[in-house]
Amino acid sequence: MIKKQMKKKSTKANKLERLDKKYLWHPFTQMQDWQREPQIIIDSGTGCTLTDIHGTTYLDGVSSLWVTVHGHRKKELDAAVATQLRKIAHSTLLGLSNVPATILAEKLVKIAPKGLTRVFYSDSGSTAVEISLKIAFQYWQQKGPEFTSKTKFISLREAYHGDTIGAVSVGGMDLFHSLYRPLLFQSYKIDTPFCYRCSLGREYASCGLACADLAGKMISEHAHETAALIIEPLVQGAAGMLLSPPGYLRRIRELCTRYNILMIADEVATGFGRTGTMFACEQEGVVPDLMAVAKGITGGYLPLAATLATEEIYQGFLGDYRELRTFFHGHTYTGNPLACAAAIANIDLFKKEQTLAKLRPKVRQLTKELKRFGGLAHVGDIRQKGFMVGIELVKDRATKEPYALEEKIGIRVVQECRKMGLIIRPLGNVIVLMPPLAISVKELMRLVDIVYKATEKITEGAQASSR
């Protein structure tokens, strides 16, 4: 009987693998490689563990793409969605409201940097950014004729704000974006404040934040035509976990204020505890004019995003209907009750379980464990902010020479991690660790140990094969 059940399960798994390769087109995936290599199909998850269709378990080291906060199958989140499902799954927010969307809006304002008072819902980080850009643009167009020239945006090189056209226009990752340049609107770029590969050839902390001074020149030159500056606070995630030096974010806020430019904080990746505080902006006492949030907002349960705005910006959209000052933007599932119910429970869990307080010792433990990577010959830089980690692998540590794209060094390390029971995802030559905030210390140490062993094996093997 047991053998029969196992055979039936294996047959079903094999069928799913065939169907996946026959019909699915995966995001950010070279499908030619996918077709010819064995792949993992996840069937279930509990806590920080994922289980595939063959029954093999893996530690979720990337929070299912940076979204899972309290773990999979968290009973409070399950219950919140189930309870809401017994009431209504969806009701439009266009001309109506719903209970979870209303309650969540208040909760978001209460945990956000003080001064952000209004919540506009959407369904992903990209759309939250698009909304921020459109609000900033329209705000100045409606403020008065002397401001209508403010139509441009400033962003950082190596920025990543999503994959929709507006978000790509203010992005700066050529690997993702260069092909689409003919479709994009112009935006001005300031150099990424990345100390390991400083574009100015300076050393922190003797540099005096020269990168911020350079940004100031760009901002002052284009202030008259700039609607907003958009920035990922403290960490440029998709670029490889690039950390801005302390004080940089605060300087950018001061420059935006001085030159009458709106500041948009893209907290899609950094929000909801990822950097050690609820939002990254808190760490430098910064209040943006607009803030985009998504990913961890529902604890990893359902698609939801929000753009938070100051009262001054919100007031700029009020007027008689005939004035057409309305923000003509919306999505079918804006403020979806199921997603909002999950988000409410997620935020409540932060308080109930003291998630951020419990995170602090785990962050310290992670910092301690990461030090051992410094002894590996091909680890060039170890970057950490809270539970956001990037380990940059280099061919030559002395010269910081990167591995060539065709060597697929990051992918190979990740594949080796999978053999040892860990799911993570690289960003080129950067190995990314982004575990759920709820991960135990024991699981965290296992995660780091697997990554260390995989990195050592693959990089030493790559070096040996090149001799």
Ranges of each domain in the chain: 40-70+355-465, 77-352
What type of residue is 72? H
CA-CA distances (angstroms) from residue 245 to 2, 111, 126? 58, 25, 26
Give the pLDDT score at 1: 57
pLDDT tens digits, 35-47: 998 889 999 999 9
Domain 77-352 coded CATH 2.40.440.10: no
Say if CB 290 and CB 302 are below 8 A apart: no
pLDDT tens digits, 15-59: 999 999 999 999 999 999 999 988 899 999 999 999 999 999 999
CA-CA-CA-CA torsion for 420, 423, 424, 429, nearest 10 degrees?
A: 50
pLDDT tens digits, 208-266: 999 999 999 999 999 999 999 999 999 999 999 999 999 999 999 999 999 999 999 99
Say if CB 96 and CB 287 are below 8 A apart: no
Q: Average pLDDT of 104-109? A: 98
Give the whole-number percent of the chain exceeding pLDDT 70: 97
pLDDT tens digits, 434-452: 999 999 999 999 999 999 9
Residue 465 in this model has a pLDDT that exceeds 60 = no
Say if CB 69 and CB 346 are below 8 A apart: yes
Say if CB 143 and CB 318 are below 8 A apart: no
Give the pLDDT score at 4: 59
Residue 128 in this model has a pLDDT that exceeds 90 = yes
Residue 193: what are its φ and ψ, rounded to 5°? -80, 75
> pLDDT class for 173, splitting at 50, 70, 90?
confident
For 99-104, which contacts have Cβ atoms below 8 Å and span 24 or more sequence positions?
99/337, 100/335, 100/337, 100/338, 100/340, 100/341, 100/343, 100/344, 101/335, 101/336, 101/337, 101/340, 103/340, 103/344, 104/340, 104/343, 104/344, 104/347
Say if CB 391 and CB 373 are below 8 A apart: yes
Assign 3-class secondary structure to 202-250. CCCCCCCCHHHHHHHHHHHHHHHHEEEEEECCCEECCCCCEECCCCHHH
Whole-prediction pTM: 0.95
Kindly give the interhelix angle for 99-111 and 337-352, rounded to the nearest 10 degrees: 40
40-70+355-465: CATH homologous superfamily? Aspartate Aminotransferase, domain 1 (3.90.1150.10)
CA-closest candidate to residue 409, choices 455, 451, 369, 370: 455
Annotate 278-335 with DSSP letters as a single string: SSGGGGGT---SEEEE-GGGGTTSS--EEEEEEHHHHHTT-S-GGGT-S-----TTTT
Give the pLDDT score at 149: 98
